[in-house]
Chain A
């Protein structure tokens, strides 16, 4: 009877285990031995236009340890062992032994001794000190250091996601393109360990490596512009500055520099301010470089011609204010070219009055002001142009001379690109193509060109802008002669604008934005350069910096010199 009862009980239990609990128990068993191994996807590189890597990834290892376990296993000799490990790891990795010892001399269960070491070094460490384990990482390399750092940004290892993640710049903005898709492998592992049982792969998805980003930047030119800008900003005692170089035919950004930058290899030392990209994120009031809008409208609508002359007094009353020229002069007869080359505020306002506010507003829009360029960089500002409906009587006395509206240095370059490109504006772009993991190059979508002015108007504007660098005598001298490059014709425009004091909502009395925009060379434009300096204290002109950049371009691109003499253009008629 007892035997029968036991048999029944055993039978019932058997049925329960085999039938009722079968699914749950087998799932628990599988859970115990199944491990999902992540297969990281290699992050894509960032290349310049020639394919030179500006950011790329290499395999690396992190050295980790369990100090608590070392203390427990070594007992009284733990301190000696930890000292030995610290000295040994320091010798192999070049790290600070004291810091390593401090990391080890704790009761934590997990410390990272070295976040990124070469795999061979990590192996040597592990073989010598079995207490040290290694974790697979990916190290982001920036061979150029601060070169284009404001554009590229930086990426670092994300401990939660076990992969590199972009923090700022294009590394963050194009994270999806660069990161790829990580894969996984589901395998059985030995109990209590990570040893994979051979042939136990249950499922596998191969990782898809990230795509490469090819930029339009020329890394050599970028380096030169960055260096020249930072030197010039220091020399002029400015708070900061930005410069951009565009290819005049395509609108591609060849260089984009800020005076404050950082080294992505040492992100800890970077300040919050240095991580930004003011060239696209910080608009400013452009000053006289904006006079080109009035001139373009005047020529395009047949209001005036480059050699048409008019009487220009020293000052002009607009609404309740009196606008003066920057220098005292009697009422003189200026050509339209002279008004631009001498940067006469009064002459420009008189011309703008002839053009009319509606046509002027239309030209502002055609020049791409008040709208983001869509260059492909994060944090881009659209600048600010007051809507036509919001204009008061005084607005039209401000905008033609470049006050009362704001733009980024990239937008400023875009305006002059349309003049350089025979009136066709192509919004600037900085990403040239995405190169997939299969090596296939997918060109980025190109923006549709916008017709700003006719080719003839653009040509006339370039001629007028060339007079700005004219080295005449007295009142026949342009305002940007320092921009001239011997052997070439240079078209450009100087600009100075008062800065806004946010405390009172008024303008500072002696704090300026100093700007310059130029086309090089003027006859057959190849490049457009725009510069802005923030409140320089030892100079009021950015022409010299343009000269430096244009000279560099001339040498680097071997631009043929112009052997034809530049005929002098009358600016003021006597």
Chain B
């Protein structure tokens, strides 16, 4: 903005000054006037020098402006290229994120499936392991001795986990014997009582009488 202003104002001053310097007053040649003319001449010279020095400064300025414009253009191109490249990278990153999150979810599902009790039991079975309920234990006693609790026995891959006890399990043998309180003789009940005053004919602990009809007391509804 400053360049054109200088160029515009300078010619308006210089010609007026030159006009006055070239046409000095012929009236009195006093010292003061002479000095004044000398100053004017000096000023005019200086102004003339300045005028001669103007064109090289303007060129530089123009060059600087052009360089700035060129740099701006290059920067703009570079930025737009980078932005385009970044948008591709962003898109790729978004896809990668999506793929990774999907993979993470898939793996989470897989892990949850593999750590579930069902899968672990199946894996154990595949390895030939069988469930064993009655295990023998070694107990370290305070005096340093080791005591065996239980009867060590082999585990068999029986189809049902509740396998019959092996014959070498002496502690289990009495269990196989019929319990003394088995319902060997049952109490026959002549006739069922009237429905409004029924009584169960006993509730055997572990061995109920097979013939013990009894009527419930308002239980048909209660059992629901």
A residues near B (Cβ < 8 Å) are 52-54, 56, 58-59, 118-120, 141, 143-147, 219-220, 222-224, 227-228, 231-232, 234-235, 283-285, 287-288, 315, 318-328, 342-343, 345, 383-384, 386, 390, 392-395, 397-398, 401-406, 471, 474-475, 477, 479-482, 485-487, 493-498, 500, 502, 505-507, 509-510, 512, 540-541, 543-545, 547-548, 551-552, 555, 561, 563
Q: How many residues of B are in contact with the other chain, CB < 8 A?
A: 76
Residues 202-224 of chain B, each 1 if its beta carbon lies under 8 Å from chain A, else 0? 11111111111111111111111
Taking a contact as CB atoms under 8 Å apart, the answer to whether A404 and B216 are in contact is: yes
Contact residues in A for B99 (Cβ distance below 8 Å): 120
B42 within 8 A of A: no
Taking a contact as CB atoms under 8 Å apart, the answer to whether B201 and A321 are in contact is: yes
| Nearest Cβ on chain B to A510's Cβ, whole angstroms | 5
| Nearest Cβ on chain B to A116's Cβ, whole angstroms | 12
Name 16 A/B residue pairs within 8 A (Cβ), A-sorted: A119-B98, A120-B102, A147-B118, A231-B160, A235-B162, A288-B206, A326-B204, A327-B180, A327-B181, A328-B185, A342-B205, A343-B206, A384-B221, A486-B151, A495-B203, A563-B139
Alpha-carbon distance A496/B200, docked complex (angstroms): 12
Within 8 A of A (CB), among B175-193: 175, 179-187, 189, 192-193
B127 within 8 A of A: no
Alpha-carbon distance A495/B15, docked complex (angstroms): 133
Contact residues in B for A343 (Cβ distance below 8 Å): 181, 204-206
Taking a contact as CB atoms under 8 Å apart, the answer to whether A509 and B211 are in contact is: yes
Contact residues in A for B102 (Cβ distance below 8 Å): 59, 118-120
Given A143-B118, A284-B223, A386-B217, 16 more pairs with CB closer than 8 A = A56-B112, A119-B102, A223-B121, A321-B193, A323-B202, A324-B201, A327-B181, A398-B200, A406-B219, A498-B208, A500-B219, A507-B200, A540-B208, A551-B133, A551-B135, A552-B133
Contact residues in A for B221 (Cβ distance below 8 Å): 384
| Nearest Cβ on chain B to A293's Cβ, whole angstroms | 13
**Cβ 8 A contact of B139, one of A479, A506, A561:** A561
B105 within 8 A of A: yes
Taking a contact as CB atoms under 8 Å apart, the answer to whether A403 and B195 are in contact is: no
Contact residues in B for A232 (Cβ distance below 8 Å): 162
| Nearest Cβ on chain B to A491's Cβ, whole angstroms | 15
Taking a contact as CB atoms under 8 Å apart, the answer to whether A506 and B200 are in contact is: no
Taking a contact as CB atoms under 8 Å apart, the answer to whether B115 and A327 are in contact is: no
Within 8 A of A (CB), among B96-113: 98-99, 102, 105-106, 108-109, 112-113
Taking a contact as CB atoms under 8 Å apart, the answer to whether A496 and B220 are in contact is: no
**Cβ 8 A contact of A401, one of B116, B175, B197, B200:** B200
| Nearest Cβ on chain A to B138's Cβ, whole angstroms | 10
Q: A474-B180, A563-B147 are in contact. Are A143 and B187 (CB under 8 A)?
A: no
Taking a contact as CB atoms under 8 Å apart, the answer to whether A52 and B214 are in contact is: no
Taking a contact as CB atoms under 8 Å apart, the answer to whether B133 and A547 are in contact is: yes
Chain B: CB-nearest residue to A218: B117
Determine chain B's interface SS by DSSP, over half rule. Answer: loop
**Cβ 8 A contact of A487, one of B120, B149, B182, B217:** B149
Alpha-carbon distance A315/B189, docked complex (angstroms): 12
B134 within 8 A of A: yes
B residues near A (Cβ < 8 Å) are 98-99, 102, 105-106, 108-109, 112-113, 115-121, 131, 133-137, 139, 141, 147, 149-151, 160-162, 171, 174-175, 179-187, 189, 192-193, 195-224
**Cβ 8 A contact of B203, one of A58, A288, A395:** A288
Contact residues in B for A401 (Cβ distance below 8 Å): 200, 202-203
Contact residues in B for A474 (Cβ distance below 8 Å): 180
Alpha-carbon distance A496/B108, docked complex (angstroms): 47
What 7 pairs across the A-B complex have the smallest Cβ distances?
A343-B205, A326-B204, A384-B222, A223-B117, A321-B199, A403-B200, A551-B133
Contact residues in A for B207 (Cβ distance below 8 Å): 326-327, 479, 496, 540-541
| Nearest Cβ on chain B to A498's Cβ, whole angstroms | 6
Chain B: CB-nearest residue to A318: B199
Taking a contact as CB atoms under 8 Å apart, the answer to whether B216 and A505 are in contact is: yes
Taking a contact as CB atoms under 8 Å apart, the answer to whether B199 and A479 are in contact is: no
Taking a contact as CB atoms under 8 Å apart, the answer to whether B205 and A326 are in contact is: yes
Q: A223-B118, A345-B204, A551-B133 are in contact. Are A406 and B181 (CB under 8 A)?
A: no
**Cβ 8 A contact of B162, one of A319, A497, A548:** A548
Taking a contact as CB atoms under 8 Å apart, the answer to whether A506 and B195 are in contact is: yes
Taking a contact as CB atoms under 8 Å apart, the answer to whether B199 and A402 are in contact is: no
Chain B: CB-nearest residue to A540: B207
| Nearest Cβ on chain B to A61's Cβ, whole angstroms | 11
Contact residues in A for B183 (Cβ distance below 8 Å): 326-327
Chain A: CB-nearest residue to B150: A486
Contact residues in A for B193 (Cβ distance below 8 Å): 320-321
Alpha-carbon distance A502/B220, docked complex (angstroms): 6
Chain B: CB-nearest residue to A317: B199
Taking a contact as CB atoms under 8 Å apart, the answer to whether B105 and A394 are in contact is: no
Q: A486-B134, A498-B212, A506-B215 are in contact. Are A143 and B197 (CB under 8 A)?
A: no
| Nearest Cβ on chain A to B128's Cβ, whole angstroms | 18
Contact residues in A for B141 (Cβ distance below 8 Å): 563
**Cβ 8 A contact of B134, one of A59, A397, A551:** A551
Contact residues in A for B120 (Cβ distance below 8 Å): 220
Q: A384-B222, A486-B151, A507-B215 are in contact. Are A143 and B205 (CB under 8 A)?
A: no
Taking a contact as CB atoms under 8 Å apart, the answer to whether B199 and A319 are in contact is: yes
Taking a contact as CB atoms under 8 Å apart, the answer to whether B161 and A324 are in contact is: no
Alpha-carbon distance A318/B150, docked complex (angstroms): 46
Taking a contact as CB atoms under 8 Å apart, the answer to whether A58 and B202 are in contact is: no
**Cβ 8 A contact of B197, one of A222, A328, A393, A548:** A393
**Cβ 8 A contact of A540, one of B180, B196, B201, B206:** B206
The CB with the most chain A CB atoms within 10 A, among B115, B116, B213, is that of B116
Taking a contact as CB atoms under 8 Å apart, the answer to whether A231 and B181 are in contact is: no
Alpha-carbon distance A222/B116, docked complex (angstroms): 11
| Nearest Cβ on chain B to A386's Cβ, whole angstroms | 7
Chain B: CB-nearest residue to A506: B215
**Cβ 8 A contact of B219, one of A141, A285, A390, A482:** A285
Taking a contact as CB atoms under 8 Å apart, the answer to whether B106 and A394 are in contact is: no
Taking a contact as CB atoms under 8 Å apart, the answer to whether B116 and A147 are in contact is: yes
The CB with the most chain A CB atoms within 10 A, among B105, B203, B207, B208, is that of B203
Taking a contact as CB atoms under 8 Å apart, the answer to whether A561 and B181 are in contact is: no
Q: A284-B223, A487-B150, A507-B216 are in contact. Are A345 and B171 (CB under 8 A)?
A: no
Q: A475-B180, A500-B223 are in contact. Are A144 and B116 (CB under 8 A)?
A: yes
Chain A: CB-nearest residue to B106: A118
Contact residues in A for B201 (Cβ distance below 8 Å): 321-324
| Nearest Cβ on chain B to A547's Cβ, whole angstroms | 7
Taking a contact as CB atoms under 8 Å apart, the answer to whether A322 and B222 are in contact is: no
Taking a contact as CB atoms under 8 Å apart, the answer to whether A231 and B205 are in contact is: no
Contact residues in A for B213 (Cβ distance below 8 Å): 506-507, 509
| Nearest Cβ on chain B to A237's Cβ, whole angstroms | 13
Q: A143-B113, A487-B149, A512-B208 are in contact. Are A394 and B222 (CB under 8 A)?
A: no
